[in-house]
Chain A
């Protein structure tokens, strides 16, 4: 058995790092009732999501029913397995069944048509605790986010990975140099599973693990892209630069961004301009590569940008720190923005029976004007959340406030008319709409008449 499985934590207290997340899971399970929202554990690979879920089930003596992307996840298939698991009691005497939906962000494939919707439906009908697992929170559908509670898992620190590796070595009877373990922990990039796999690959069959024994590659080669950028600005030999470019295994478009992000290390404006000219030319080759699926062109991109930037820098070197492309951080934000925009566009399109591209091109301005005039009305009408409203009014604070107020009103209304029974109330009773500041300033909007658009 490989070590990742062998040394998977059995109890929540054995999970390394992410103590906040682990506590949140524990508390959720302690007083679990049908009214609680399912958890969605999200974060990078190897940070302990699946392990925590299994450890929890073990601690609670719950049985686990797992579904992942390797199973067909159409609506029917999901209902067959998770549907029954979530409504019928367990036979094996375990107190409950924990439904585990792994890779919840991977439901968009053709073959899983209807899967995302099925999950939401199963959540609504479930009688058993459910945990969803995802890598990318922002790619989840809005509907799914609305009925779940997020728990974030962060990348692990190298210093918290090391003790775990040491434990494993001790259990396997392998003596190891601390330097080797540090090396592994640093190269793992916050991924415990990668670290354990590397340790396994390096240590298996050995009695002593020395510092130089770590031959397998880390999955992440960031450290060498730093070297590549440094060597380019320092003007190392052409053949060396191109060899390094192959070794870092970052695609030329990533290398391009790294170079661009560090062009301000150029000694003067003229050389910076020269550097940009080469990057722009390389960028053309990259575009052509993808457009035509002709990967031979990659080498011209690499050569033109690396040698070109090296030429422009004139061996000047990098003074100061080599920074990762700042665009990447911005991209994280704009990715979210894009997801919000796409979700909104889909929703409006369904409501108005107008195709999405027509909506975007011809109607968005008109809708924006209407929403600006009376945000609360359209928050109700379109069921907007704060992010979506913000797309129209570009004022995050105000958007949050308006949405909160509308939610409060709806709640008050629901209380006044409890006739609908518990089903209607259940969805609303979430933890996050705490009573907001209650100065009765909330604007009295016209009665919920039909807000017309066009």
Chain B
């Protein structure tokens, strides 16, 4: 399984093996460790956005519970691959009902993206969870717990994972950089935090991408490799539009999209983040965000991005003018 170091994907290579190696989610880690200590485990439901440690926690938990035999007693399934009721009635039930191996008292089934299961499948799952609780514990993970039916929520201890904070992202980035012999400037760390926005996978991917180019990583490399505009550039774009200087705003846009090759969707994401933070009058802010949303929607419908993005700037200018 172990690939040559240069080609291994770092998010796997540096995935924490043990719970105490995880950065962030401290409250949750402590509770999970006490399950290991007592040898007892309820069904769990992990909720939260991508890249914040749900899968890592589940796998690490299984390793600590079962030691060397963890792969025999742990199974990971992704519900979005097969969403129907048959997967519950066949595959899941099959795994759940056979007895645990190598002296373990139960097995663990990790069901990723459980919110992708149809309601029928979830209904079937809920009784399976209870019936085979003696031989199998379930860890479900999902982005939105509201998409999990109530009866299942009622059967699980629910853990809400939060987006990782700045310190956690920096800590992990430094650890990996040290192990790989990279130097990372402070500016590059800031850039990684910005690009990741709480998602560790994005942070590590950015770092690995940058490391292919050079071993001394600065912020420029990070923005380049991730095709992301710097926060200052986004601010400038917004400043110019709000000030009504359309031609200059247009130049800035062309620089970002054509010269730097930043995808329109990424620009919209970044503008959204910047606008939410921006200290301007609320009425105007709502109008600007609305313009952004309309553009996002039109792009998703297949409209031409050149025209829509320029029209977006024009809307910004108009909204600001009307507001003055």
Report chain B residues within 8 Å CB of A310.
282
Q: How far is the CA of A437 from the CA of B277 in the complex (A)?
A: 70
**Other-chain residue from B27, B131, B150 in contact with A45 (beta carbon distance below 8 A):** B150
Q: Which one of A216, A254, A285, A299 has the greatest number of beta carbons of chain B within 10 Å?
A: A216
A149 within 8 A of partner (CB): no
- Check B28 against A215 for contact (C-beta < 8 Å): yes
B272 CB → nearest A CB, Å: 7
**Other-chain residue from B38, B123, B160, B282 in contact with A217 (beta carbon distance below 8 A):** B160
A6 CB → nearest B CB, Å: 10
Q: How far is the CA of A197 from the CA of B128 in the complex (A)?
A: 17
- Residues of chain A at interface, number, CB under 8 A: 61
Q: How far is the CA of A278 from the CA of B123 in the complex (A)?
A: 37
8 Å CB contacts to B: which residues of A67-106? Answer: 68-72, 102-103, 106
Q: How far is the CA of A147 from the CA of B27 in the complex (A)?
A: 51
Q: How far is the CA of A248 from the CA of B39 in the complex (A)?
A: 32
Report chain B residues within 8 Å CB of A108.
120
Chain B contact residues, majority secondary structure: helix
B106-150 to A contact mask, C-beta < 8 Å, 1/0: 000000000000001001111110110110000000001110001
B187 CB → nearest A CB, Å: 24
A251 within 8 A of partner (CB): yes
Known contacts A292-B300, A300-B293; decide if A205 and B35 are in contact (CB<8 Å).
Answer: yes
Number of A-B contacts (CB under 8 A): 161
Report chain A residues within 8 Å CB of B31.
201-202, 215-216
**Other-chain residue from B93, B272, B283 in contact with A70 (beta carbon distance below 8 A):** B93
Q: How far is the CA of A346 from the CA of B151 in the complex (A)?
A: 30
B15 within 8 A of partner (CB): no
Q: How far is the CA of A44 from the CA of B282 in the complex (A)?
A: 42
- Check B157 against A198 for contact (C-beta < 8 Å): yes
**Other-chain residue from A205, A219, A304 in contact with B38 (beta carbon distance below 8 A):** A205
Report chain B residues within 8 Å CB of A301.
293
Q: How far is the CA of A3 from the CA of B43 in the complex (A)?
A: 11
- Check A135 against B272 for contact (C-beta < 8 Å): no
A242 within 8 A of partner (CB): yes
Report chain B residues within 8 Å CB of A5.
130, 133
- Check B157 against A201 for contact (C-beta < 8 Å): yes
- Check A103 against B123 for contact (C-beta < 8 Å): yes
Q: How far is the CA of A200 from the CA of B156 in the complex (A)?
A: 10
- Check B89 against A70 for contact (C-beta < 8 Å): yes
CB nearest neighbor in B for A278: B286
8 Å CB contacts to B: which residues of A397-413? Answer: none
Known contacts A70-B89, A111-B86; decide if A304 and B293 are in contact (CB<8 Å).
Answer: yes
A239-256 to B contact mask, C-beta < 8 Å, 1/0: 100100000011100100
B277-294 to A contact mask, C-beta < 8 Å, 1/0: 100001101100110110
Residues of chain A whose beta carbon lies under 8 Å from any beta carbon of chain B: 1-5, 44-46, 68-72, 102-103, 106, 108-111, 135, 191, 193-194, 197-198, 200-202, 204-206, 215-219, 238-239, 242, 249-251, 254, 278, 281, 285, 288, 292, 294, 296-297, 299-301, 303-304, 307-308, 310-311
Residue pairs across A and B with Cβ atoms less than 8 A apart, 23 shown, are: A2-B42, A4-B155, A69-B123, A69-B126, A69-B127, A70-B126, A70-B127, A70-B128, A103-B123, A103-B126, A108-B120, A191-B154, A201-B31, A204-B35, A204-B38, A238-B282, A239-B276, A250-B146, A299-B272, A303-B276, A304-B289, A307-B286, A311-B283
